[in-house]
């Protein structure tokens, strides 16, 4: 075969490389690593195995794990076990999508660009807003980017946020805010939702934006009526983090006067995937679109009037020249966005309504049954979608252990989070019920919670 051939480095080659960087031997490369933590001797590994024996060994190890395919899952808190039609993985896994990078060369990327344009269009339909980008990293960074965007648009550095926002999202907000000089003011909750009176009182002429999440971390649906008017009168923006599945039955954020809607798109056809990669979506009103981070795909026509798709509104330099960029988000979750588009196409409008309705109906059935057990009660009376907080008669960790021993993945122990219950003694759990859970599985959960094992 033609082409260059590369031979292993000789001792002379190695000596020349060491001389070129001014060291005597390779050990000097590790001079900054304290001797006490350097590896001495061989790694502690078992003896070599044949491929057949190694495969059997790894399968045996893997069998020690449990997952949502072998146990019913009632854990949510930001990552959800929804049904994914087989067509989603089949199409998203095609090589022309699976191996594609950002479609800078439109002339050879029409299929991928059209798919992302369709994704943007669907996000706009869900949120009721005018323009969506073709994805961000995840829900947390999407909310942080919306905060940054609001500060850039208004020239202000004060953000009002709800204590009902996911605690992990609030950590990301705090990280962004620290370096950008943004001041965060947290508004408390009342009955599981943002204290409306305290929220409205916190808004002033220095407020860049109000950030809310609905349904919030505790599953409760926020009442956004009147918030947009108050913040708009003060020259600020309203930002909402939303669950896209819930929008199958809840009002789109645009109807509440939301200026920027963001959220986590994992539930749109992406598996739990050990925590990622996930998908951040963002949609805005038209007047704000030029300040959006990330990629934006536009539809146009060529000289012959044929439809075509291109990256638009932002030059490539926007993503590589830090001093010119509104945001330093330099990549996206294109394959995840494509997957979401395939999922939404597969389930369709009525299918999404059905999925959302099943989630809500099954969650309310489970909540009613659990609340009827001795020693259990619902923590809040506010309306909820598919997650709810339960006050438990014993520490949640004990209940989790009991559920696990009965092969059920239970809810989240809120004492183990930095939520408003972080200092609790472990008597509250956040349960989630999606459309995947059957009546039999819910009844089994209730039975184990009630002590019938």
pLDDT of residue 390: 97
Handedness of CA 337, 339, 341, 347 (dihedral sign): negative
pLDDT of residue 14: 86
| CA torsion, ordered 55, 56, 61, 65, to nearest 10 deg | 90
Buried b vs exposed e over 329-351: b needs ≥16 C-beta within 10 Å? Answer: beebbbbbbbbbbbbbbebeeee
Backbone angles phi, psi at 416, to 5 degrees: -95, 15
Provide CATH code, domain 349-449: 3.90.1150.10
Gap between the Cα atoms of 218 and 167, Å rounded: 10
Gap between the Cα atoms of 263 and 319, Å rounded: 22
Cα 405 versus chain centre, distance:
29
Residue 433 · residue 442 · CB < 8 Å: yes
Q: What is the pTM of this model?
A: 0.87
Same CATH fold, 349-449 and 86-343? no
Q: Indicate the domain borders of the chain.
A: 86-343, 349-449
Determine which helix (DSSP H) or strand (DSSP E) holds 12, and give its type and residue range.
helix 11-20
User: Mean pLDDT for each consecutive 10-residue tract of the chain (453 residues)?
Assistant: 60 88 88 88 88 95 88 96 96 85 78 93 98 94 96 96 96 94 96 96 97 98 94 97 98 97 97 92 95 89 89 67 69 87 97 98 98 96 98 93 94 82 77 98 96 68
Gap between the Cα atoms of 399 and 382, Å rounded: 24
Q: Is 222 exposed, middle or buried (0-12, 13-18, 19+ CB in 10 A)?
A: buried
pLDDT of residue 5: 56
Count, residues in the chain: 453
Contact residues for 403 (Cβ-Cβ < 8 A; gap 6+): 409, 410, 445, 448, 449
Alpha helices in 63-155 (DSSP H): 86-92, 95-98, 110-127, 139-154
Provide CATH code, domain 86-343: 3.40.640.10
Gap between the Cα atoms of 294 and 114, Å rounded: 17
Gap between the Cα atoms of 272 and 204, Å rounded: 40
For 34, other C-beta atoms within 10 Å of its C-beta total 7
């Amino acid at each position: 075969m033609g082409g260059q051939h590369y031979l292993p480095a000789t001792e002379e080659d190695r000596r020349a490389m060491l001389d070129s960087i001014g060291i005597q031997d390779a050990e000097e490369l590790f001079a900054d690593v304290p001797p006490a933590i350097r590896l001495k001797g061989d790694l502690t590994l078992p003896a070599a195995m044949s491929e057949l024996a190694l495969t059997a060994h790894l399968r045996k190890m893997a069998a020690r794990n449990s997952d949502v395919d072998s146990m019913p899952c009632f854990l949510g808190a930001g990552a959800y076990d929804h049904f994914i039609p087989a067509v989603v993985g089949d199409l998203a896994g095609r090589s022309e999508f699976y191996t594609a990078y950002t479609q800078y060369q439109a002339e050879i990327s029409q299929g991928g660009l059209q798919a992302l344009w369709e994704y943007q269009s669907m996000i706009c339909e869900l949120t009721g807003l005018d323009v969506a980008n073709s994805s961000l990293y995840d829900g947390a960074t999407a909310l942080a980017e919306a905060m940054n965007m609001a500060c850039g648009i208004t020239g202000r550095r004060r953000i009002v946020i709800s204590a009902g926002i996911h605690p992990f999202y609030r950590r990301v907000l705090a990280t962004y805010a620290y370096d950008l000089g943004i001041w965060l003011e947290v508004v408390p909750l009342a009955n599981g939702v943002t204290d409306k009176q305290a929220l409205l009182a916190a808004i002033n002429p220095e407020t860049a934006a109000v950030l809310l999440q609905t349904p919030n971390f505790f599953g409760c649906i926020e009442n956004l009526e009147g918030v947009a008017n108050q913040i708009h009168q003060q020259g600020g923006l309203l930002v909402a983090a939303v669950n896209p599945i819930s929008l199958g039955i809840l009002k789109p954020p645009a109807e509440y006067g939301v200026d920027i809607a963001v959220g986590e798109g994992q539930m749109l056809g992406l598996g739990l995937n050990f925590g990622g990669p996930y998908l951040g979506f963002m949609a805005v009103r038209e007047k704000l679109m030029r300040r959006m981070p990330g990629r934006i795909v536009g539809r146009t026509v060529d000289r012959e009037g044929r439809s075509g798709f291109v990256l638009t509104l932002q030059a490539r330099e926007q993503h590589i020249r830090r001093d010119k960029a509104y945001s330093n988000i330099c990549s996206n979750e294109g394959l995840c966005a494509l997957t979401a588009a395939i999922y939404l196409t597969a389930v369709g409008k009525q299918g999404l309504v059905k999925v959302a309705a099943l989630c809500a109906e099954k969650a309310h059935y489970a909540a009613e049954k659990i609340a009827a057990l001795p020693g259990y009660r619902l923590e809040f009376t506010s309306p909820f979608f598919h997650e709810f907080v339960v006050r438990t008669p014993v520490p949640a960790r004990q209940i989790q252990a009991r559920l696990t021993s009965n092969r059920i993945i239970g809810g989240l122990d809120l004492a183990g989070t930095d939520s408003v219950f972080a200092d609790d003694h472990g008597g509250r759990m956040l349960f989630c019920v999606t459309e995947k859970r059957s009546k039999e599985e819910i009844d089994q959960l209730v039975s184990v919670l009630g002590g019938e094992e």
